[in-house]
Amino acid sequence: MTKMTDLSQLDLNSTYTYADYLSWQFDGAIELIKGKIMAMSPAPSSEHQSISWRLSGALFIFFKNKKCRAFAAPFDVRLVDRKKSIVANKDIYSVVQPDICVICDQTKIDSKGCLGSPDWVIEILSRGNSKKEMQLKYQLYQESGVKEYWLVYPGEKAVHQFVLDEDTEKYQLLAMYSGEDIATPQLFPDCQIDLSEVFEDDTE
């Protein structure tokens, strides 16, 4: 088998699995969304990383000594339609690296990352994120049963909070927070995140 070390060796119109993903040795990070390759943006901006660091710090403090665990990218999350069973790596068509995810079911965590849907996913938008990419991820997280999904908009200093309706299996926009608000995940109502600290300007 030819050693895959560059994206140019692959047909981007083909459909791939997690088994294929494991065999690749690319320098740049990629994600698989329903079998299609999505090249990730180059190294995130300092603004993106500052927001991620502050959110991660807040979650580390909150989840310390609790059963749920928070992980920051790079961290592979293998997703499947929750109505389907997982048989083997060749049956997994989606592997993503959320900026931050929280997992409460410890059996989903293994040496390779997370197998199954996290309870809470936070994605921080970058200028390199395309509208198509974000729509695909929204649909993927919804279909996979991610219970809560936050989209963070650094430029607007805003957070959109989506919560999965178990009856319709669709996301509902629960809240739109601004940079001065205290954001609270529905799953963890005792977790209070001060967005003025998350979006604090480091350039001064």
Looking at residue 193, which CATH number applies to its domain? 3.90.1570.10
> In the structure encoding, which two tokens stand for residue 104, read together?
């409460």
Looking at the structure of the chain, the number of domains it has is 1
> 1-15, 28-42, 64-78: which has the minimum mean pLDDT?
1-15
DSSP state of 90: G
Long-range contacts of range 54-57, CB-CB < 8 Å, 24 or more positions apart? 54/197, 54/198, 54/200, 55/100, 55/122, 55/124, 55/152, 55/193, 55/198, 56/100
Query: What is the percentage of the chain residues whose pLDDT exceeds 70?
Result: 92
Q: What is the mean pLDDT of residues 74-103?
A: 85
Range of the domain at 98: 7-198
pLDDT attached to residue 21: 92
Query: What is the percentage of the chain residues whose pLDDT exceeds 90?
Result: 71
Domain for residue 120, yes or no? yes
pLDDT attached to residue 204: 47
Q: Does residue 170 carry a pLDDT above 80? A: yes
pLDDT attached to residue 124: 94
Q: Does residue 83 carry a pLDDT above 90? A: no
C-alpha to C-alpha distance for 182 and 159, rounded to whole angstroms:
11
pLDDT attached to residue 10: 85
More confident residue, 86 or 67: 67
Domain for residue 1, yes or no? no
pLDDT attached to residue 86: 59
Domain for residue 60, yes or no? yes
pTM for this predicted structure: 0.91
Q: What is the mean pLDDT of residues 166-175?
A: 96
pLDDT attached to residue 202: 58
Domain for residue 27, yes or no? yes
> 19-23, 90-94, 115-119: which has the minimum mean pLDDT?
90-94
Long-range contacts of range 193-197, CB-CB < 8 Å, 24 or more positions apart? 193/55, 193/58, 195/157, 195/159, 197/54, 197/58
pLDDT attached to residue 80: 83
Determine contact, residues 120/193, Cβ cutoff 8 Å.
Answer: no
pLDDT attached to residue 2: 62
For the chain, give the longest Cα–Cα distance. 54
Domain for residue 2, yes or no? no
Domain for residue 203, yes or no? no
Q: Does residue 78 carry a pLDDT above 70? A: yes
For residue 177, the cross-strand partners are 159
